[in-house]
Amino acid sequence: MKFGVVIFPGSNCDHDTFYVLRDIFKQDAIFLWHKEHDLKNVDCIILPGGFSYGDYLRSGSIAAFSPLMQEVKEFAFKGGLVLGICNGFQVLLELGLLPGAMLRNKNLKFLCQYVHLRVDNTDTPFTSTAKKGQVLRIPIAHYDGNYYSSPETIQEVKKNNQTVLRYSDARGRLSDEANVNGSLECIAGLINKSGNVMGMMPHPERASEALLGSEDGRIIFESLIKSLG
Amino acid sequence: MKVRILVSLKDSVLDPQGQTVRNALHTLGYESIKDVRQGKVFEIELEGVSQEEAAKVIPEISDKVLANPIIEKFSWQILEKG
């Protein structure tokens, strides 16, 4: 099992993600530089959190044009597993691998806090080890996480069960209050129609060790490792 | 040739930044301000292209790069003919 963690100028969760994969889960992991063209035979690509290109133009937009991302697009079209975390999710949206776009958080604040997430779809390579309806406690840290898409798109997304993770309270109930950034349909994690590309705003790599306050993020990595194994 | 491109959120998309600016203006006593929409301005210089070619290139780069068509719209005007 070989994971590739992509680095853009401004990525800042690349090493955390790499550390979790290699040191906690004992997986083979390499870094992939955004200017490269070679994915080096990895089995799964992770686009880490951060502020690629300083969030210039729109969060994730410039990174989406990088040479490596064109290879990632090909990789995804062939069914390769791609996970975008936070800024990585924004890049996947800008790249068109996931439907919709991100708007500024509804309260115009940078939100850095723990949130609760309800797992609504466990039939994915990213959440297969979770129980349906399970509530995870994982931190977020973003300015542009207010998910938006057109009414037609959101209907399609719901119909296909693409809303994998949703902001909820500790008991899994959805509410405006729990939907901290104002996302449409409380979407925190979204998968593509073919089920091999997922984006999520919360940071599972920051919740993979008890020492850091939560181990709920492990579910995402454990599911990925299981599906690749 | 110099071109100015305006990118802003579509009317159907809520603009909390614009609303905050409007509220601040109200606080300052500018009650007549009904609505504010915030956007971005790009001033672009083109070289060696005709007006017709510019009319092709500008919408193309606006759609592909400068604006995200899911949430944003754009308009443009020629500032200086080249």
Which of A58, A143, A149, A190 is the best substitution to test chain B (most B C-beta atoms within 10 A)?
Answer: A58
Cα-based angle A142, A143, A149 (whole degrees, multiple of 5): 100
Any chain B CB within 8 A of the CB of A94? Answer: yes
> CB count, 10 Å around CB of A181?
25
Q: Looking at this protein, which amino acid is placed at residue A226?
A: K
Lowest average pLDDT, out of A35-49, A121-135, B8-22, goes to: B8-22
Q: How many folded domains does chain B comprise?
A: 1
pLDDT for the residue numbered A71: 98
* pLDDT at residue A26 tops 90: yes
Please indicate whether, in this complex, the C-beta atoms of A101 and B65 are within 8 angstroms of each other. no
Average the pLDDT over B5-17 and give the result.
94
Residue B45 lies in domain: 2-80
Query: Cα(A161)–Cα(A155) distance, rounded to whole angstroms?
Result: 10
Give the model's confidence band at B82: pLDDT under 50 very low, under 70 low, under 90 confident, else very high.
Answer: confident
Q: Give B-chain residues touching A101 at CB under 8 angstroms.
A: 68, 70-71
> CB count, 10 Å around CB of A126?
30
Residue A124 lies in domain: 2-228
Q: Looking at this protein, which amino acid is placed at residue B25?
A: L
* pLDDT at residue A148 tops 80: yes
The percent of residues above 90 in pLDDT, for chain B, comes to 94
Average the pLDDT over A30-35 and give the result.
98
pLDDT for the residue numbered A46: 98
Which of B19, B36, B70, B72 is the best substitution to test chain A (most A C-beta atoms within 10 A)?
Answer: B70
Q: B74 vs A24, A96, A99, A105, B13, CA distance in Å?
A: 47, 19, 21, 22, 14
pLDDT for the residue numbered A96: 97
Average the pLDDT over A22-36 and give the result.
97
A44, containing H or E segment = strand A44-47
Query: Cα(A149)–Cα(A155) distance, rounded to whole angstroms?
Result: 10
For A189-218, the pLDDT digits (tens) are: 999 999 999 999 999 999 999 999 999 999
Any chain A CB within 8 A of the CB of B23? Answer: no
Average the pLDDT over A31-39 and give the result.
97
pLDDT for the residue numbered B38: 94
Q: Please give the mean pLDDT across all residues of chain B.
A: 95
Q: Please give the mean pLDDT across all residues of chain A.
A: 97
Q: Give A-chain residues touching B14 at CB under 8 angstroms.
A: 103
**A169: its two tokens:** 């309270």
The DSSP code sequence of chain B is -EEEEEEEE-TTS--HHHHHHHHHHHHTT-TT------EEEEEEE--S--HHHHHHHHHHHIIIIIS-TTTEEEEEEEEE--
Please indicate whether, in this complex, the C-beta atoms of A149 and B70 are within 8 angstroms of each other. yes
Q: Which of B17, B20, B68 sits opposite A58 (nearest CB)?
A: B68
User: Which CATH number goes with the domain that contains A75?
Assistant: 3.40.50.880
* pTM of the model as a whole: 0.95
Q: In which region does residue A165 sit, left (phi positive, over 0), alpha (psi from -120 to 50) or beta (all else)?
A: beta
The number of C-beta contacts closer than 8 angstroms across A and B is 28
pLDDT for the residue numbered A94: 98
A112, containing H or E segment = strand A111-119
Q: Give A-chain residues touching B16 at CB under 8 angstroms.
A: 103-104, 106-108
For B22-47, the pLDDT digits (tens) are: 999 999 999 999 999 999 999 999 99
Please indicate whether, in this complex, the C-beta atoms of A94 and B68 are within 8 angstroms of each other. yes
Q: Which three-class secondary structure state does DSSP give residue A51?
A: coil
pLDDT for the residue numbered B29: 97
* pLDDT at residue A1 tops 90: no
pLDDT for the residue numbered A103: 96
* pLDDT at residue B7 tops 90: yes
Q: Give B-chain residues touching A57 at CB under 8 angstroms.
A: 65-66
Average the pLDDT over A100-108 and give the result.
95
> CB count, 10 Å around CB of B75?
12
User: Which CATH number goes with the domain that contains B74?
Assistant: 3.30.1280.10
